[in-house]
């Protein structure tokens, strides 16, 4: 039996421990349900928020350092390009926040049937968009 497996793995050039299983790497052939969309966005936004951590610390340090540096930070945050970036990051935060609350709710077995999960997915997407919209209005008006 083991011998057979070895022969098999030699034939298909698999690394030890790797099983042969069907792969479908063409992402365009996979239909992404709305709960999967919310889930993968939760992960993606988490990565983005992690990557931006040093920038947040740097801005916080500068803004508290001296009045001049504070003005510099404010000037940076007021440039249109940075404002758009800021909105993108804010959306990442809002989505991660609301999707995280949804995951916590599901951990305590709340809203776990498929229909309810689809519904809360929509709620999460709408809340994230709404919060970003409110912020956009606030920083542009």
Using the rule CB under 8 A, is 130 a contact of another protein?
no
CA distance readout (Å), 47 to 27, 56, 69, 90, 122: 20, 14, 29, 14, 22
**Residue of the chain from 14, 36, 64, 130 that contacts another protein (CB under 8 A):** 64
Q: Which is closer to another protein, CB of 2 or CB of 42?
A: 42
Q: Which is closer to another protein, CB of 2 or CB of 89?
A: 89
Binding mask 22-61 for another protein (x = CB under 8 A): ---------------------x--xx-xx--xx--x--xx
Residues that bind another protein (CB under 8 A): 43, 46-47, 49-50, 53-54, 57, 60-61, 63-64, 66-67, 70-71, 97, 100-101, 104, 107
């Amino acid at each position: 039996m083991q011998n057979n497996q070895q022969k098999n793995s030699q034939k298909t050039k698999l690394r030890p421990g790797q099983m042969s299983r069907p792969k479908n790497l063409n992402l365009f052939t996979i239909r992404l349900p709305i709960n999967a969309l919310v889930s993968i966005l939760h992960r993606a936004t988490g990565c983005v928020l992690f990557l931006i951590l040093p920038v947040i610390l740097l801005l916080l340090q500068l803004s508290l350092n001296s009045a001049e540096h504070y003005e510099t930070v404010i000037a940076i945050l007021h440039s249109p390009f940075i404002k758009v970036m800021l909105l993108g990051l804010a959306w990442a935060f809002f989505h991660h926040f609301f999707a995280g609350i949804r995951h916590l709710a599901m951990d305590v077995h709340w809203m776990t049937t498929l229909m309810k999960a689809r519904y809360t997915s929509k709620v999460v997407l709408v809340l994230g968009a709404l919060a970003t919209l409110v912020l956009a209005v606030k920083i542009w008006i």
